[in-house]
Amino acid sequence: MASISTVRTYTGPEIDRMLESGDVRGKVSKNDLPTPALIVDLDAFEDNCRKMAGFVRGAGRAFRPHAKTHKCPAIAKYLISQGAVGVCAARLSEAAALAAHGVTGLLVTTAVIGRQKIERAIALGAMRPETIFVVDDAENARRLNEAASAAGLTLHVAIDLFVGNRTGVAPLAPAVAVGEVIDGLSNLRLAGIQAYAGQASHTVGFENRKLVSIEAMTPAVETRRMLERKGIPCPLLSGGSTGTYNIDAAIDGITELQPGSFLFMDLDYSRIGGQSGEIYDDFRNALFVIATVVSRPKADLAVVDAGYKAFSTDRPFPPRWRGGAEYPYGFAGDEHGRIALKDGQSPRTGDRLEFIIPHCDPTVNLYDRIYAVRGEQVEAVWPVAARGCSQ
């Protein structure tokens, strides 16, 4: 907990001017940041990246982490420098924002439906010809092919399989039928299959999670084999998550993993359990929100300046103080949170507390920038360029 006496708070515009004039390294402490502030602990972040990249490489799989977690070109480029073949993007607009900042190897993980989005896909394909788009419907494939042909482009597509109770075509024969249509189209090239089993990623208990993931991914592997037996090349089978990375990497036929939350971690993932216990601790918490105590209305209550607008609220549990359970947090509206104090606890107005977030992806989407911190010092400021890109 930082004391008010150590703080020299900068405003957002002051930070922007420092960025424009050069490096912020060594000039700004994390305790100088305007709050609420989203920070990344660089030591933990880099450890997480090295661990996941090394594991995937050792398993003989490709690594295409999901950018929906961070929405940040600087992080995407760092991951590629660590061996990733590219990154996944949840939406066309997210992919376009990353591509505009020089990110390559994109896989757009949701289908491109409707004239407007097909036009945007064509623009993205022209900018980044290696981009892969997913399809789960033969008619949609034909529409993409018509647009690609008119633009003089060839688009790479992957069949999206229904293995996670979300989108996709049913595995086996229905998916093979879509693959046969794609194989016969002049301006589409079948890159392979996407099979994301979202229901497996947060299944509690490692052995339970293993059963769910294997059950979901086995039909995907067989679908790939069926396509290849028909003479249709299917080089890619992409799937997996932070919760199942060490399960899916052992499934023969899966060629690449697309985890995302391993970068930052959150309270949600900590609850799913690991191979060795009830707490999932394969990766370290690296993402935190700094909040300032702005009021002490009662002896047993402190109020901080971080509420619904500072943390994602889609989980049934609140943020947790980084130091443990000593300062239990409760939401107190858009702008504020309540800290219930016990006897002897006396954070002062102006003191700062750091919180582990409930769910990393939607929390990042609340912020314009991530402050990359090592120890007490800010080393970099990363714009969240794809913030709000939900189309």
pLDDT of residue 12 exceeding 70, the answer is no
Establish if 164 belongs to a structural domain: yes
What tens digit of pLDDT does each residue of 368-379 get?
999 999 999 999
Whether 245 and 301 share a structural domain: no
What tens digit of pLDDT does each residue of 209-243 get?
999 999 999 999 999 999 999 999 999 999 999 99
What tens digit of pLDDT does each residue of 258-310 get?
999 999 999 999 999 999 889 999 999 999 999 999 999 999 999 999 999 99
Establish if 275 belongs to a structural domain: no
The residue from 238, 270, 302 where one domain ends is 270
Q: What was the pLDDT predicted at 4?
A: 42
Q: What was the pLDDT predicted at 27?
A: 80
Whether 132 and 27 share a structural domain: no
**For the residues of 134-177, what is the DSSP string, one character each?**
EE--HHHHHHHHHHHHHHT--EEEEEEB--SSSS-B-TTHHHHH
Establish if 373 belongs to a structural domain: yes
What tens digit of pLDDT does each residue of 278-290 get?
999 999 999 999 9
CATH number at residue 172: 3.20.20.10
Establish if 180 belongs to a structural domain: yes
313 falls in which pLDDT band (50, 70, 90)? confident
Whether 287 and 214 share a structural domain: no
Whether 159 and 25 share a structural domain: no
Whether 55 and 196 share a structural domain: yes
Establish if 333 belongs to a structural domain: yes
Whether 261 and 203 share a structural domain: yes
Whether 27 and 97 share a structural domain: no
Q: What was the pLDDT predicted at 7?
A: 46
pLDDT of residue 130 exceeding 80, the answer is yes
Neighbouring C-beta atoms of residue 229, cutoff 10 Å: 9
pLDDT of residue 49 exceeding 90, the answer is yes
pLDDT of residue 6 exceeding 50, the answer is no
Q: Which residues contact 39 (CB under 8 A, 6 or more apart)?
A: 30, 33, 287, 288, 289, 290, 354, 370, 371, 372, 373
Q: What was the pLDDT predicted at 65?
A: 98
* Overall number of domains in the chain: 2
Q: Which residues contact 17 (CB under 8 A, 6 or more apart)?
A: none
Which of the two residues, 18 and 3, has the higher pLDDT score?
Answer: 18
324 falls in which pLDDT band (50, 70, 90)? confident
Q: How much is the mean pLDDT over the chain? A: 93
What tens digit of pLDDT does each residue of 108-120 get?
999 999 999 999 9
Whether 129 and 101 share a structural domain: yes
Phi, psi torsion values for 383, nearest 5 degrees: -65, 140
The residue from 228, 249, 270 where one domain ends is 270
pLDDT of residue 343 exceeding 50, the answer is yes
What are the residue ranges of helices labelled H in the chain? 12-21, 42-58, 73-81, 92-100, 115-127, 138-151, 173-183, 198-201, 206-229, 245-248, 267-270, 360-364
Whether 193 and 218 share a structural domain: yes
Neighbouring C-beta atoms of residue 23, cutoff 10 Å: 10
Q: How far apart are CA 220 and CA 168, in angstroms?
A: 11
365 falls in which pLDDT band (50, 70, 90)? very high
CATH number at residue 366: 2.40.37.20
What tens digit of pLDDT does each residue of 142-187 get?
999 999 999 999 999 999 999 988 999 999 999 999 999 999 999 9
Q: What was the pLDDT predicted at 370?
A: 97
Establish if 388 belongs to a structural domain: no
The residue from 227, 249, 270 where one domain ends is 270
Whether 37 and 50 share a structural domain: no
Establish if 391 belongs to a structural domain: no
Whether 247 and 314 share a structural domain: no
Q: What was the pLDDT predicted at 315?
A: 76
Establish if 289 belongs to a structural domain: yes
**Which residue range forms the structural domain that includes residue 67?**
43-270
Which of the two residues, 161 and 328, has the higher pLDDT score?
Answer: 161
Q: What was the pLDDT predicted at 5?
A: 40
Question: Would you say the pTM of this structure is higher than 0.75?
Answer: yes
Whether 348 and 250 share a structural domain: no
